[in-house]
Amino acid sequence: MAAIRSIMRNLRQQSRAGPLAAQRRFLNLHEYQSLTIMNDHGVCVPHIEVVKSMSELDAQADKIKGDCVVKAQVLAGGRGLGHFKENGFQGGVLGTSSREELRECAEKMLGKTLITKQTGEAGKPCNFLMLAEKFQIKEGGEKYFAILMDRGAGGPIMIGSKVGGTSIEDIAEADPSAIIRIPVDINKGCDKKMALDMANKMGWTGAQGEEAANSIVGLYDTFISKDCTMLEINPMAELEDGRVIVCDAKVGFDDNAFFRQKEIFDQADDSQEDPRDLEASKWDLNYIGLDGSVACMVNGAGLAMATMDLLTHVGGSPANFLDVGGNASVGQIKAAFKIVKSDPRTKGMLINIFGGIMRCDVVAEGVVEASKEMKLDLPIVVRLVGTNVEEGKKILKDSGLALYSEDDLNKAAKLAVKLAAENK
């Protein structure tokens, strides 16, 4: 079951909107967007409406028969247990029993910042609310269902459980046999027979089994046709009225499929992202913001991780992971500096470049141009090794800037930490 737990842990991490997930190869959509896409593929979902301003709340609520559940639309898990930064209001997912209660909840959610266990203290802005029909789930009717790519299976794999509505990792830990795994031949797809087998194993039979199977076929069709990296339903539930519906959905999409899925990618909500991450993506830079004081600019992910570890080892703390890759231009170097400068916690910078594919003189030129253009007041330690290293060092030396050149990486890291500590 270690493999199962690993799969689900990766699934959670991919959908998590925390600080280490910002520079990811996945597009995430809001719940209302994902449910709309699923509905288009024949999946049974609740009746939902979207509210973007208080002025349209009543009109949207009128479209839903009966009472509403109001859900804050932010890209983070744990919304139900979250709270809003501005007013301390508890809960980003609440059932309401009157229009007055709905209006009160909406006013305290819309336009506010929701903090959950996955957002950190910064939280995420709630610019939309989703109103959903209020329904009663049959006792014991909550199940878990997901589809993701599995290297071990060599393609898509459907994962299910008779128990849902809670952490799948906890379910797997408590009872490994509760996890159902059905690999799917990507060339053949998921037909009604396979879907019905999964539905039966999840505990649905008869009319509910047929209904669940129809939705499973639709979910697989969504997964493949929309280039999803993962699709998680928790819970998929049987209601008191006999329906089997998708109650909550998390869907990730592969950024490499942008050329095929432009309509979906146009729905991305940039307000949910760190502005630094958005700027980095424009310049094809691999950036992850951290909470330290020494910024790093390195070429190569492995070297970047080693540099961050070394900074920590010598008593410092990295402010970011920033990999400029092997073919960075002067423009990209300058963009990287702008991103670094935008972080007020940064007090110093270590540039560690191994000139294999990348030329040291190009890096030096970018460093000098960026320093002059932005009038950087950060102490910058530069370590260049490899192709055109002498030319690069000459550019730095002749610049007239207060740049600290150091060939020894250990000494460079210690110097960067020391200068950052002195730069109050």
Mean pLDDT, rounded, of the chain? 87
0.75 surpassed by pTM: no
Catalytic residue among 49, 142, 144, 404: 144
> What confidence tens digit (pLDDT) does each residue in 114-170 have?
999 888 888 999 999 999 999 999 998 999 999 999 988 889 999 999 988 777 778
Q: Which of 161, 166, 162, 145 is nearest to 223 (CA)?
A: 145
- Which domains does the chain show, CATH number per domain? 47-134 (3.30.1490.20), 137-264 (3.30.470.20), 275-422 (3.40.50.261)
Q: Which of 164, 160, 170 is nearest to 248 (CA)?
A: 164
The residue-averaged pLDDT of 400-409 equals 88
Catalytic residue among 232, 238, 365, 406: 232
The pLDDT score that the predictor gives to residue 329 is: 73
How, if at all, do strands 348-355 and 380-386 pair? parallel
The question of whether 373 is a catalytic residue gets the answer: no
CA distance 244 to 403: 64
Residue 109 in contact with residue 126, Cβ under 8 Å?
Answer: yes
In this model, does residue 14 exceed pLDDT 50? no
Q: Quick one: which H or E segment has residue 320? A: strand 320-323
CA distance 147 to 157: 6
Within 10 angstroms of residue 176's Cβ, the number of other Cβ atoms is 12
How, if at all, do strands 179-183 and 294-298 pair? unpaired
The question of whether 144 is a catalytic residue gets the answer: yes
CA distance 219 to 207: 18
> What confidence tens digit (pLDDT) does each residue in 160-207 have?
999 887 777 788 888 888 899 999 999 999 999 999 999 999 999 999
Q: Which of 15, 28, 13, 1 is nearest to 264 (CA)?
A: 28
